[in-house]
Amino acid sequence: MEKKIALLPGDGIGKEVMDGAVEILKAIEEHYYHRFHFQYGMIGGAAIDEMNSPLPQETLQMCRESDAVLLGSVGGPKWDKNPSHLRPEKGLLALRKELDLYANLRPVETVESLLDSSPLKREYVEGVDFMIVRELTGGLYFGKPSERNVKNGEHTVVDTLFYKRDEMERIIERAFQLAQDRKKKVTSVDKANVLESSRMWREVAEEVAMKFPDVELQHMLVDHAAMALIHNPKQFDVIVTENMFGDILSDEASMLTGSLGMLPSASLSATGLHLYEPVHGSAPDIAGEDKANPVAMILSTAMMLRHSFKMEEEAEAIENAVKHVLDSGKRTADLTRKGEKPFSTSELVEEIKAAL
Amino acid sequence: MEKKIALLPGDGIGKEVMDGAVEILKAIEEHYYHRFHFQYGMIGGAAIDEMNSPLPQETLQMCRESDAVLLGSVGGPKWDKNPSHLRPEKGLLALRKELDLYANLRPVETVESLLDSSPLKREYVEGVDFMIVRELTGGLYFGKPSERNVKNGEHTVVDTLFYKRDEMERIIERAFQLAQDRKKKVTSVDKANVLESSRMWREVAEEVAMKFPDVELQHMLVDHAAMALIHNPKQFDVIVTENMFGDILSDEASMLTGSLGMLPSASLSATGLHLYEPVHGSAPDIAGEDKANPVAMILSTAMMLRHSFKMEEEAEAIENAVKHVLDSGKRTADLTRKGEKPFSTSELVEEIKAAL
Ligand SMILES: CC(C)[C@H](C(=O)O)[C@@H](O)C(=O)O
Ligand SMILES: CC(C)[C@H](C(=O)O)[C@@H](O)C(=O)O
């Protein structure tokens, strides 16, 4: 097959892990006789520095003309004091909105050989395997007004949690579809005892559930979910929730696996053009040191092969190679224990390539 | 001393743990020659059933005429389908707002003898001792509009995250004051890379910090905080954050101690009339079974003695008695391990009383 892939390394370790992903994709190209056309674009802080915009028009255009988008990570202290339209994150948020990437899939699976790196006791995390489905283009992230006001000398500020009913419906439906191919259970997370938007969310979840009689629906309050993820994570199959709750809970859940450096994600649209990125951030503290864990980025490319290109075999080959390397004790610094020598980013990529 | 205490047991296990608290307070009365006048009021589901209001005027009035308020818990599936003004939680939220209980203090301290009950590995939670200071009368909980709309056949819903600058200032100041008497570090949690309210929050935090040169200020994004609470909780001293983030993070943090049944909280106003309640909910699944852990409620009364009545010695006596009982292996069902026989609520209360 022939595919156009837009590569947006972004900031910090985004560049390093993207290099790793490209290495792996080139190996896949060769083994499986595909042809990948890579095109690089700027986003985030790098784009602000060079083009004075966190999402230049060229980048957006290039993504639109591609079959899939791979993203590294954006952000860093360098741009922290910038005005809000010139912040790296604005580039990512604008891209999500422009491409209508409303369904963010974040699988959380613990790896047997890494259980020792988890802060949680083995019996709590062994066999954990769930998927967080996060709404990605609505809620507090995009609602208007989001502004400051002064009235009679009183300074106030407002952000807006806004949703269309249809937006809830499509993401919850997506979650049920995913659950059908898994353990047939959806946990819908909200704050229905306080928020009107959550009460609508709950209603929509019940409605959607009627169309999927083979899938069990459970409601859970977000504060309770934050506990349950720790004391009983094995109960979950598919968790579906709105944008901000999803942001918080998925980062929390990443800790079950021992490192944020392990978790891939897919951001899906209705159009067929999807984006794939690691859950981790740009980690400015270790950027440029060839230390970052490339696994999340590499597993994101596997998700791309599976979801965007229907290359199931190739995706599994990558996933198995990663598992093989980790099982044999080879790890980057985020996962090594005292006394162990960590592999560098590029060394680990080489190992994964060799294992393919 | 002579003090008027308003008792609001509320729903579910609220009643049982409140009985325990009263037992302990009576013992304190005797040992230390105080006089406590208890007055019972209705709130939540119980009040809806009897008086068709989650916060009857009588209850509010009674609280206003008291020196402190003790609350059990509110809510339960019985009222889950009620319209929003007839939900149990509305009673608690209205009480917080009416009494202007803006500062919710939630101490998180692990107990050596209970470390085995924590889902986290011992080395992560041993010695954890921090305080979450949650803003309690603003943000998404109270912002208007909070409503549904239909326009051209499109159904939408909105909730509003609203803050006055002054509301941020007073809670952040409170956090710094608390930090001065502790390890002199404040972690301010926000989502400044997305929310305008968080950007104002961060500015206010920096301003307040200038008045406390001896206290260190650290900013942390809420998603990162959700991770850090698990992989490095010992770094924290005082965490300050807005209402919804505080709700989620404090429930998450409660897991470090092994059970939500351990954690007390104080909700402080500027007027001097404060409220004390356990962090846990009404646990309808075990209500009426004399199974609930009374420790959170009893430690909440200790907080009341300390903060509202300046009875430091009495507060410590309770805390030591609780510690003594737990150290000797006596526990309710939420904390026992396989094969151990759990103590009932009333048995544990008796033990704590005896240890006083
Ligand atoms: C960078 C930031 C805006 C982003 C988000 O909050 O969505 C990130 O935390 C994520 O989870 O992808
Ligand atoms: C009962 C509910 C409204 C409440 C809240 O969200 O504040 C509870 O979860 C709490 O944390 O005290």
User: 3-class DSSP state for residue B134?
Assistant: strand
Find the A156 Cα to ligand 1 centroid distance in Å: 25
Compute the distance between CA of residue A248 and CA of residue B250 in angstroms, rounded to an integer.
13
Q: Are B160 and B145 in contact (CB under 8 A)?
A: yes
Give the pLDDT of residue B13.
Answer: 97
DSSP character at residue B120: B
- Range scoring the smallest mean pLDDT among A243-247, A338-342, B187-191, B294-298: A338-342
Any atom of ligand 1 within 6 Å of the Cβ of B193: yes
Any idea of the CA torsion for B22, B24, B28, B31, to the nearest 10 degrees?
Answer: 120
For tokens 């206003």, name the residue: B64
Give the pLDDT of residue A338.
Answer: 80
Cα–Cα distance list, B163 to A243, A245, B141 (Å): 21, 20, 11
Compute the distance between CA of residue B199 and CA of residue A295 in angstroms, rounded to an integer.
33
Compute the distance between CA of residue B108 and CA of residue B263 in angstroms, rounded to an integer.
7
**Token pair of A99 as six digits:** 């491409």
- In which order are the strands placed within the sheet that holds B238-241? B35-40, B2-10, B68-73, B274-278, B264-268, B103-109, B129-135, B238-241, B185-190, B216-221
Q: pLDDT per residue over A48-71, tens digit each?
A: 999 999 999 999 999 999 999 999
* CATH fourth-level superfamily of A119-130+139-257: Isopropylmalate Dehydrogenase (3.40.718.10)
B175 pLDDT band, cuts 50/70/90, is very high
Give the pLDDT of residue A272.
Answer: 95
pLDDT surpasses 90 at B68? yes
A190 is catalytic: no
Give the pLDDT of residue B295.
Answer: 97
Give the pLDDT of residue B338.
Answer: 80
Give the pLDDT of residue A117.
Answer: 87
Residues of chain A with pLDDT under 50: none
Compute the distance between CA of residue B202 and CA of residue B206 in angstroms, rounded to an integer.
6
Give the pLDDT of residue B51.
Answer: 96
10 Å Cβ neighbour count for B60? 19
Question: Residue B92: which residues within 8 A CB-CB, separation 6 or more?
Answer: B10, B43, B44, B54, B55, B71, B74
Compute the nearest-CA separation of B81 from chain A (Å): 10
- DSSP for A56-78, please give it: -HHHHHHHHTSSEEEEEE---GG
Compute the distance between CA of residue A15 and CA of residue A291 in angstroms, rounded to an integer.
12
Q: Are A278 and A296 in contact (CB under 8 A)?
A: yes
Cα–Cα distance list, A269 to A143, A171, B286, B289 (Å): 19, 10, 44, 49
Question: Residue B339: which residues within 8 A CB-CB, separation 6 or more?
Answer: none
Q: What is the mean pLDDT of residues B185-201?
A: 97
**Token pair of A284 as six digits:** 């400015």
User: Is cis: bond before B9, omega within 30 of 0?
Assistant: no
A1-113+258-356 in CATH: which number? 3.40.718.10
Q: What is the mean pLDDT of residues B235-260?
A: 95
Question: Residue A62: which residues within 8 A CB-CB, separation 6 or more?
Answer: A6, A39, A41
Atom in ligand 2 nearest the alpha carbon of residue B243 = 7
* Predicted structure pTM score: 0.96
Residues of each domain in chain A carrying CATH 3.40.718.10: 1-113+258-356, 119-130+139-257
Q: Are B258 and B269 in contact (CB under 8 A)?
A: no
Residue B10: which of B75, B94, B93 has the closest Cα?
B75
Q: pLDDT per residue over B309-326, tens digit each?
A: 999 999 999 999 999 999
User: 3-class DSSP state for residue B147?
Assistant: strand
Give the pLDDT of residue B41.
Answer: 98
**Residue B143: its chain A contacts at CB < 8 A?**
158
Compute the distance between CA of residue B59 and CA of residue B194 in angstroms, rounded to an integer.
40
Q: Are A103 and A174 in contact (CB under 8 A)?
A: yes
User: 3-class DSSP state for residue A85?
Assistant: helix
Residue of B90, B196, B203 to mutate, interface with A, max A Cβ within 10 Å = B196
Give the pLDDT of residue B305.
Answer: 98
Residues of each domain in chain B carrying CATH 3.40.718.10: 1-109+258-356, 119-257
Give the pLDDT of residue A355.
Answer: 96
Give the pLDDT of residue B340.
Answer: 87
pLDDT surpasses 90 at B10? yes
Inter-helix orientation angle A312-327/A295-307, to 10°: 160
Q: pLDDT per residue over B198-215, tens digit each?
A: 999 999 999 999 999 999
Question: Residue A83: which residues within 8 A CB-CB, separation 6 or more?
Answer: none
**Residue B255: its chain A contacts at CB < 8 A?**
227, 230-231
Residues paired with residue A156 on neighbouring β-strands, in sequence order: A149, B164
Q: Give the whole-number percent of chain A exceeding pLDDT 70.
A: 100
Q: Are A190 and A198 in contact (CB under 8 A)?
A: yes
Give the pLDDT of residue B113.
Answer: 86
Compute the distance between CA of residue B245 and CA of residue B135 in angstroms, rounded to an integer.
9
Find the B243 Cα to ligand 2 centroid distance in Å: 10
pLDDT surpasses 90 at B117? no
Give the pLDDT of residue B356.
Answer: 93
Q: Which CATH class is domain B1-109+258-356?
A: alpha beta
Give the pLDDT of residue A73.
Answer: 97
B19, B67, B237, B247: the catalytic one is B247
A181 is catalytic: no
* CB contact (8 A) between residue B89 and residue A196: no
Q: Which CATH class is domain B119-257?
A: alpha beta
Question: Residue A316: which residues within 8 A CB-CB, separation 6 or more?
Answer: A302
Compute the nearest-CA separation of B109 from chain A (Å): 16
Give the pLDDT of residue A340.
Answer: 87
Residue A4: which of A71, A63, A92, A56 has the closest Cα?
A63
